[in-house]
Structure 1
């Protein structure tokens, strides 16, 4: 009898529901889940993704020994001390969303002084933005997730929210929003640079080995092609709210 092939190793990761990038309801656990799985297959491994609110996901993914790491994170100086970052597994484009009838005009982040801005607790919104928040120049109100922040924006609890562009598009295209609500929201795309995201492997000896193996495997995977194919698969046709003129 031929020997049975060993089953692929299962690496467990923590993240939050963040469609279309991560979601148990989407094919392959979302776009980034699909990219992750493609790389792990080259390592003869597979992923198990568990979903939590973001701060809880970071806590478990980076500290609980049952997990390999947290998904997917922006690379910052502070986080370099918490984990080993993989090579990029996609990117995110942050925008500022606000109401069409109450426009927020800003040529640079500093111009947002005095504007009440909704953010998500535990998120990094870029070094420039985060530094202005820490210095007290910008006023933010941290919410549990993007969905709640968008609802607060529509109810005028915030003047603006910081949100990822494709996540905003996907959320507004869902059945939870009316056409009138979609048309109320506009965005400014000029304030934040596009940023890469990474797997954050636990800062342990095993985590370092996994990060190095992941990066080696990722060099053999055409992530850009997989991403293009994925958008076609889920029919990403909803239009982004227009920039305010």
Structure 2
């Protein structure tokens, strides 16, 4: 005989059944567009928690890493990407709650913890397509090589870096070619927990070059933790990395797909490019 369900078990079973029906795209499209967007996120929030009480929640929870100026507790609206996330969710009548972790931990929670809708900001890669429903673009990144002026590094191609130790961040994607060469050890990389750690290691000559987003580098060097002498020692070289778009990775589940579709539909009503330019001016960083 099957074990009887307690009240919590009955509630969970009903929620699962409700989710299977309500997450259907065909069912959702019978509603007006705006009602469907709101309904889709509400269903997603309910299903993600597995609790009927979540139906009244107006908060979408995501995991992320401190990556100023794109995502940071200390910045207005949690950084550029945070501000864009909030602007889109506001169209749906929702607010965002961002929890901060080291990058690999943020990815793990965003992919597998049902408390989270996903994680951000993330670059699209074929590997990540396996576990993400990617949102529309939420900012752009431009990676550069950063090195010391007293120890210049010249590279016209990634192949020119084969004999050079390179500082990177664990779990980051830089480009398809760079990622492949690093994975196959055609490039000698040393991984750190974040960009600020790499920048300090560079200044201490732990390695001759690091890969870092140009805006992140500019923002870090402007902090009081770095001196004017530190800033004057750093030089950069661009051209090896193409500009890439950043996204919110929704969990690759039926619920995640519903959330991503609702989010992207709402994003069409928000001028994200204008918001980005205004945000850079707002915090005094050139876009």
TM-score category, normalised to shorter length: over 0.9
**CA distance in 2: counterparts of 1:147 and 1:75, whole angstroms:** 23
Residue 262 of structure 2 is matched in structure 1 by 213
Task: Give the TM-score normalised by the residue count of structure 1.
Answer: 0.92
**CA distance in 1: counterparts of 2:265 and 2:286, whole angstroms:** 34
CA deviation vs aligned residue, 1:80-129 (integer Å, no higher than 9, x gap): 00111111111100111001011110011111111000000011111111
**CA distance in 2: counterparts of 1:236 and 1:196, whole angstroms:** 19
In structure 1, stretches of 5+ residues that fail to align are 1-5, 239-245
Residue 159 of structure 2 is matched in structure 1 by 110
The alignment status of 1:164 with 2:246, answered yes or no, reads no
In structure 2, stretches of 5+ residues that fail to align are 1-54
> Are the equivalent residues in 2 in contact too, given 1:8–1:46 (CA < 8 A)?
no
- How many residues of Structure 1 are paired with residues of Structure 2 in the alignment? 233
Higher radius of gyration, 1 or 2: 2
**CA distance in 1: counterparts of 2:130 and 2:93, whole angstroms:** 28
Task: Give the TM-score normalised by the residue count of structure 2.
Answer: 0.79
CA deviation vs aligned residue, 1:24-54 (integer Å, no higher than 9, x gap): 1110001110011111111221110000000
1:88 counterpart SS class: coil
Alignment of 1:111-126 (within 5 A): 111-126=160-175
The alignment status of 1:69 with 2:115, answered yes or no, reads no
**CA distance in 2: counterparts of 1:210 and 1:44, whole angstroms:** 14
> Are the equivalent residues in 2 in contact too, given 1:62–1:70 (CA < 8 A)?
yes
- Structure with the higher strand share, 1 or 2: 1
**CA distance in 1: counterparts of 2:72 and 2:87, whole angstroms:** 16
Residue 99 of structure 1 is matched in structure 2 by 148
Residue 231 of structure 1 is matched in structure 2 by 280
The alignment status of 1:19 with 2:68, answered yes or no, reads yes
Give the CA RMSD over aligned residues.
Answer: 1.4
Runs of 4+ in 1 over 6 A off after TM superposition: none
Bigger relative contact order, structure 1 or 2, given CA contacts below 8 A and separation 6+? 1
- Structure with the higher helix share, 1 or 2: 2
